Structure 1
């Protein structure tokens, strides 16, 4: 199972070198363990029998894997095994079975591969590298030790083959989206009724204001700090589905247990659900304890569950992105906040949020509370370079343009003129009546600044409305015209 090595690249040229387990560079064999921890399988194998052993978490990883194979074309066999948590294994198997469509997409999947690699090169890889599919979906084992034993059986059958081509690389495509616009750098906020529409808003923020920076995964990202996304009305039992979401309903259903259940696949380092419901050696069920706290006292600030294991995650290579889930009660409704240290906005945000909304409803139902808003805080909100074009296309094609009026939860404003003193008067009100906030002035500019300083509106369109309405009032005052709020001015 070895081949003549005529490569012009060093091993350190391998993409994501530190995330690969290197065995014998003269071997024909690459091993892809999907989400199962690669070291659990590799440690049971003879390093002489494989070149590379690596995980494959996302569609982007297929592109990196392919570029490595083109650099080291002595890889002629690719063993696919382990837990397929994100359908990347299914996509890779579909590529080897069907090839690519004209737009570099894998038929039957939502995976689009690297357009910097020509279609003929992708087809050459598909024809010259043999996929050996040992996934559980094909009836093969899930346990890492059993997977290793199956791999040994397959290795014994393989003939030694020469490299299928000369080593080569392909140019990286220019980044999509241009330079980042100036921004406040941190503390971005969006709000929507549903997960799907809110996802579009967060994605637009990242693509518009995200700084282009390197990552630990050999590709660039656009990143903004500390986004706060609020979802107000999504019914997790009857979600508002959108065809532009980058996953199918079946994939979402398969994802739910990763947060809602303590069970995990053999060989997987952890799931969020396991950390939340069976944390540590003693198996603490933090969600059950949250429910107990909320039943004991609705005013509690201690309904909190965490995923971070200080001993493991401070030094480990695969720390959780979701750090904390907390809940509190306002006016008889359960509000929940989830905090992420790192958040892949294009690929993971929407699935994470749908599942967390289900968890929120479970806690609300079990504590006899109504369902309030869900808040997602993302310390690093980012989109990887291979998804920039997808993100921009999705935003341009499907973004909902709000032409309808939304009621501002912070109230509304009553605008009138007082001719005797030549003043514009503005009273802030809520459904409960007038508040202490009253403003008067002679110009729209003066009043806009006063109201904005008090932060009495929460929606961008509300501030825009105030600007238009106050400018109308100023014109009416100066020209002696009649002014009625929300009515057009009548010029004689």
Structure 2
């Protein structure tokens, strides 16, 4: 075999070409969650056609199959199914099942017709691709599974020694359906979203991004819709996590049980695995930061210095793939342990729910350890994530729109109206509108406003209470306007009730 191969024989991905390392062989290597460069460094370009990752069985496999159909020169597929992440996500297993078991007509999670892979792992192929072409691909490409990088590289080298085989057909490409989002005006920087559970908060996050997020190019051959600096606050996530029924979250309990261990537990250094959050927290910097945090809070329960870092200064170097989760800050206020996590980049549709549940499990672990080792009996406080780039990738826009259509109205209707800024009692006294501002819970009057103009009163309250919830502020505006109408027309006014005409 010579490495002097014509340029025309090089693998040419029709979709997401920048995510594939291309060569001139006849074998495509699917690396799953293993870093593709870790495989490529063991091979010569003439030994492989392409090397690339595949993360999702519902979105990634279809794009891979499209690229294989566009490159019938590929006759072999080596699937590296090596890591815990691969087993948890299931994309490699599902891809192997496509070649082994085939596919059938079905429906996607958004209700669209598709080809469903016959597998225990749910995987979709775009319905636009002809079934005959899929069957020809299955019959023409020989598939191999590898459990380690060394095994994958050895298999590719052995295949490269075989006599070159003619392409199995003509290249075929299919138009890729696109979703064009409608972007409404809104704030680009600095957002606050709160919910009782991770599920409720997630629905609100997806709605906010899909409503006002800016369309930006990504580094991954596509687009995302993005907001900058989004703070999400989860106040009452139950122990063991809340999963709605039916489950509309992008993960289930089995996935989360595996994912939580990646945050809580240390992990050995494995070739091709960039890092795990647990490894960064437990051993990467030469100390166990989780144990350090527990010890600091036991020694000084009021400490504001309990910071865990996952960012290594080497992460800023070129060709590095730095962790998305950068810092974790813990604080005890009024006997509640809160956790704040900062993400430099956050896939809010596919990853945030798992991120949040993993962080909540870490928060629970630290709370329990402090209680077991000290006199403190702490309660669980809020979980806060600050996502500096909060985005949804274009291949999830349709799923996001479907989630909003089915769940957002319900999530918004279930919100409670207990505003931390307090409550307001409105009356008409001595030919003026009188508004008393009271603290939440205790009902202590902290301010009093009076006047004849609803507009002027709204401006005064807004200036003094800038953190008022939007729904509460709109309610106040309506009630004050109603009070002004009652004053002008000499009607009876009672808050939250229709006006009554004086007879």
TM over 0.5: yes
- CA 1:335–1:194: 2 relative to 1, 3 Å: same
Aligned to 1:256: 260
Residues 194-246 of structure 1: CA deviation (Å, up to 9, x unaligned): 11111111111111112222111112211111111110000232434451112
Q: For residues 361 and 298 of structure 1, what CA distance do their matches in structure 2 show? A: 16
Aligned to 1:455: 465
Q: For residues 321 and 78 of structure 2, what CA distance do their matches in structure 1 show? A: 23
Aligned to 1:310: 313
Which of 473, 476, 489 does residue 486 from structure 2 map onto? 476
Q: SS at the partner of 2:346?
A: strand
Task: Tell me, yes or no, if structure 1 residue 294 matches structure 2 residue 305.
Answer: no
The structural deviation recorded for 1:483 is 2.1
Aligned to 1:138: none
- CA 1:279–1:310: 2 relative to 1, 3 Å: same
Figure out how many residues of one structure are paired with residues of the other and give that number.
478
Aligned to 1:131: 143
8 A Cα contact 2:12 2:71, kept in partner: no
Aligned to 1:32: 30
- CA 1:403–1:221: 2 relative to 1, 3 Å: closer
1:208-219 aligned within 5 A:
208-219=211-222
The structural deviation recorded for 1:382 is 1.1
Q: SS at the partner of 2:413?
A: coil
Residues 446-482 of structure 1: CA deviation (Å, up to 9, x unaligned): 2222222223554322222212222222222222222
Aligned to 2:374: none
Aligned to 1:326: 329
8 A Cα contact 2:436 2:445, kept in partner: no
Residues 415-461 of structure 1: CA deviation (Å, up to 9, x unaligned): 1111x243333333332343433222212222222222223554322
8 A Cα contact 1:99 1:123, kept in partner: no
Q: SS at the partner of 1:287?
A: helix
With 328-337 and 255-264 compared, the bigger mean Cα shift is at 255-264
Q: SS at the partner of 1:104?
A: strand
Residues 294-337 of structure 1: CA deviation (Å, up to 9, x unaligned): 11222212111111111144323421111111111111101111
Aligned to 1:380: 389
Aligned to 2:234: 231
Aligned to 2:56: 58
8 A Cα contact 2:62 2:124, kept in partner: no
Residues 325-368 of structure 1: CA deviation (Å, up to 9, x unaligned): 11111111011111111111111111111111111111112223
The structural deviation recorded for 1:110 is 4.3
Aligned to 2:168: 164
Aligned to 1:137: none
The structural deviation recorded for 1:393 is 0.8
Q: For residues 360 and 458 of structure 1, what CA distance do their matches in structure 2 show? A: 29
- CA 1:259–1:245: 2 relative to 1, 3 Å: same
Q: For residues 395 and 8 of structure 2, what CA distance do their matches in structure 1 show? A: 26
Alignment root-mean-square deviation, CA: 2.9
- CA 1:353–1:390: 2 relative to 1, 3 Å: same
8 A Cα contact 2:13 2:71, kept in partner: no
Task: Tell me, yes or no, if structure 1 residue 417 matches structure 2 residue 428.
Answer: yes
Aligned to 1:394: 403
- CA 1:402–1:204: 2 relative to 1, 3 Å: closer
Q: For residues 169 and 351 of structure 1, what CA distance do their matches in structure 2 show? A: 35
- CA 1:112–1:247: 2 relative to 1, 3 Å: farther
8 A Cα contact 2:30 2:52, kept in partner: yes
Q: For residues 277 and 52 of structure 2, what CA distance do their matches in structure 1 show? A: 22
8 A Cα contact 2:10 2:22, kept in partner: no
- Normalised TM-score (structure 2): 0.86
The structural deviation recorded for 1:187 is 1.0
Q: For residues 178 and 157 of structure 2, what CA distance do their matches in structure 1 show? A: 42
Q: For residues 224 and 287 of structure 1, what CA distance do their matches in structure 2 show? A: 30
8 A Cα contact 2:30 2:77, kept in partner: yes
Aligned to 1:22: 22
Which of 474, 478, 489 does residue 464 from structure 1 map onto? 474
Q: For residues 363 and 223 of structure 1, what CA distance do their matches in structure 2 show? A: 32
Residues 221-277 of structure 1: CA deviation (Å, up to 9, x unaligned): 111111111100002324344511122321222211121111257331101111111
8 A Cα contact 2:79 2:145, kept in partner: yes
Q: Give ranges in structure 1 of 5+ residues lacking alignment.
A: 135-140
